[in-house]
Amino acid sequence: MNQYLESARYIDSAHPAVTAFTAEYARGDDDRERAVALYYAVRDEIRYNPFLDFSDDAVFRGSACLETRQGFCIGKAALLAACGRATGIPSRVGFADVKNHLTTPALRERMGNDLFIYHGYTEFHIEGKWVKATPAFNRRLCERFRVKPLEFDGREDSIFHPFDADERRHMEYLRDRGSHADVPAEEITRAFREAYPVLYALGGEAAEDTFGEKAG
C-alpha cells in the first residue's frame, strides 16, 4: 500500500495547501468518516469547470485545484486522493469513458461529441476494500442542471447516476480504464488531443470561460 500513501507528482499530498485543506476538513473518528468528510469538502468547495487549458500540466494536479478553487473531474479526483493520503488513507485514482446524455451545447461544441474519455474518480481503501468516490460535480452545479448530487458513505461506490432528477438519461459508463497510483497525465493528454482537437486548438482561451454560471 506504500505507493497509495506517498505524495506523487499529481496526487501531491505533501503540498502545504493540501495538508492545510486536509487538516481543516478531515473530521471523524476513523478512516471512513474522514474520507466522507473530505469527499464533501472537495465536491462542494472546488467548483467543477471543464473549460480549462488542457495543455497546462497543472490541470491534472490536486494542489492546483486548491489554488484556483476549480477543476475538472481528474484534477478534483487527484485532489481528493491527495487529501486521503495526507490523512493516512490509501488512495488512488481510477478512470472510465462515460457518455454524458445531458452535455450542454457549449461543451458539446468544444468537445465535438458527448463522450468523456478518462473520466476521473478517486478510490479509497477503507475497511479492507477499495471504494469509488466521484467528487466532480459540486452541489450548486447539480442544482443548476437538475442533476442528482452524488452522495458518499465510505462503504459503497459513488459513481454518476444513470438518470437525472427528471429521469432523463444522464451518465452511461462505457469503458473501464483502470486504477493508477498517480494520474497518467501524458497518456491522457495524448488521448485528449486526438479526441478533442477543437478544445485543444483553443489553448489558453479555453480557460477564459466558465461552466454552469450561465445558460449553455
Taking the model in full, what pTM does it have? 0.89
pLDDT in tens, 111-133: 667 788 999 999 999 999 999 99
**What average pLDDT does the structure give for the chain?**
88
Q: Is residue 216 part of a domain?
A: no
- Counting the structural domains of the chain, the total is 1
Query: Within 10 Å of residue 2's Cβ, how many Cβ atoms?
Result: 7
Q: Is residue 214 part of a domain?
A: no
Q: Is residue 68 part of a domain?
A: yes
Q: Is residue 92 part of a domain?
A: yes
Q: Is residue 215 part of a domain?
A: no
- Check: CB of residue 95 under 8 Å from CB of residue 116: no
pLDDT in tens, 156-200: 999 877 666 666 657 888 999 999 999 999 999 999 989 888 777
DSSP H helices, 52-181, are: 62-68, 73-86, 105-111, 139-145
Look at 37-46, 106-115, 171-180 and tell me which has the smallest mean pLDDT: 106-115
Query: CATH number for the domain including 25?
Result: 3.10.620
Q: Is the pLDDT reported for residue 71 higher than 90?
A: yes
Q: Is residue 204 part of a domain?
A: yes
Dihedral angle at the C-alpha atoms of 172, 175, 179, 185, nearest 10 degrees? -100
Q: Is residue 213 part of a domain?
A: no
Residue 144 sits in which domain range?
2-208
Residue 214 pLDDT level (bands cut at 50, 70, 90) = very low
Separation in Å, CA 105 to CA 86, 118, 127, 205: 38, 21, 42, 18
- The span from the CA of 68 to the CA of 65, in Å, is 5
Q: Is residue 19 part of a domain?
A: yes
Per-residue pLDDT at 26: 98
